[in-house]
Amino acid sequence: FSRLRKGLGRSSNRLGDQVSGLFTKKKLDASSLQDLEDILIEADLGVDTAMAITDRLSQQRYARGIDADELQEVLADEVEKVLAPLARPLEITGEAPFIVLVVGVNGTGKTTTIGKIAAQQAAAGKKVVLAAGDTFRAAAVEQLKIWGERSGCTVVAGAPKADAAGLVYEALDAAADADVLLIDTAGRLQNRAELMAELEKIVRVIKRRNPDAPHAVLLTLDATTGQNAMNQVDIFGKTVGVTGLVMTKLDGTARGGILVAIAAKHKLPIHFIGIGEGIDDLAPFQAEDFARAISG
């Protein structure tokens, strides 16, 4: 929590300061409520949540004014209301191998997140196989191999520019007696049609082996990108049927507000947050902590 708070509170424009600044100067009236709504929308929380917060504040209880602490409490409370139903740990149980497809735009943290999940699972005694399905970028393959070494997991990688679905086919064989198979994928949005065709083909290859798989399709979102993250949920959601979210880089930004808007719109489970580049820097998503960090 302290790291999350430090991250979300790093910027000089942190939401809590802006909001309390607004109310130490003014009384709570229609114009200051409008200012507050603007700040909340500017912070990417989304119109619905922004309005819910200002509506609540305009109620009788606060008619005579409100202090900064009370205001932050209302803010945290409303944010938590949106997020709490979606805070769900990724449950890697049941059928083995449990097959997880990880998708997302390049640079959002797919490979790193896979490495971190692999380390957690390996530490829990699970046999984990990693598939270097981003065959397009040699650096991504190398990166995944390094994560495999760190976490002591097998990595299945192909020749440079190999067919990604073919590589996944090989990985399914290699993971036949494993507990978990984590599949990295390409994320070059510059050629969206080609990428989506590639992802669809990967899903087909998996389903041919096991119609119930992939058991999870995780979308990684970079918290520093604000509104882009919303578009990415739309794009990947339509093609591969995202089952849950991982929001990365929350250690380095005050811009986590978009997660609230995404949650309100898409109602997708939020499994993890990334709070650093290290192997231990992946935490289960906690709605209350997040709400307090973003509002405080």
Q: Which residues bind ligand GDP (CB under 6 A)?
A: 104, 106-112, 140, 143, 187, 220, 248-249, 251-252, 274-277, 281
CB of 123 to ligand GDP, least distance (A): 19
CB of 184 to ligand GDP, least distance (A): 7
Q: Which residues contact 276 (CB under 8 A, 6 or more apart)?
A: 3, 251
Nearer to ligand GDP, 106 or 154 (CB): 106
List the Cα angle 185/190/196 in 5-degree steps: 45
CA–CA dist 111, 189 (Å, integer): 16
Nearer to ligand GDP, 14 or 249 (CB): 249
Nearer to ligand GDP, 4 or 36 (CB): 4
Residue 34, H or E segment: helix 30-42
DSSP string, 218-246: EEEEEGGGTTHHHHHHHHHHHHH---EEE
**Are the CB atoms for 227 and 45 separated by under 8 Å?**
no
Nearest CA-CA partner of 167 in 191, 144, 147: 144
Three-state secondary structure readout of 47-97: HHHHHHHHHHHCCHHHCCCCCHHHHHHHHHHHHHHHHHHHECCCCCCCCCC
Nearer to ligand GDP, 28 or 140 (CB): 140
CB of 60 to ligand GDP, least distance (A): 43
Work out the number of other CB atoms within 10 angstroms of the CB of residue 125.
Answer: 7
Q: How far is CA 134 from the centre of its chain?
A: 19
List binding-site positions for GTP.
104-111, 184-188, 248-251
Nearer to ligand GDP, 23 or 285 (CB): 285
CB of 143 to ligand GDP, least distance (A): 6
DSSP string, 96-110: SSEEEEEE--TTSSH
CB of 65 to ligand GDP, least distance (A): 39
Which residue minimizes CB distance to ligand GDP?
274
Work out the number of other CB atoms within 10 angstroms of the CB of residue 245.
Answer: 25
CB of 235 to ligand GDP, least distance (A): 15
Nearer to ligand GDP, 6 or 26 (CB): 6
Nearer to ligand GDP, 66 or 230 (CB): 230
Length of the chain in terms of residues written: 296
CB of 75 to ligand GDP, least distance (A): 24
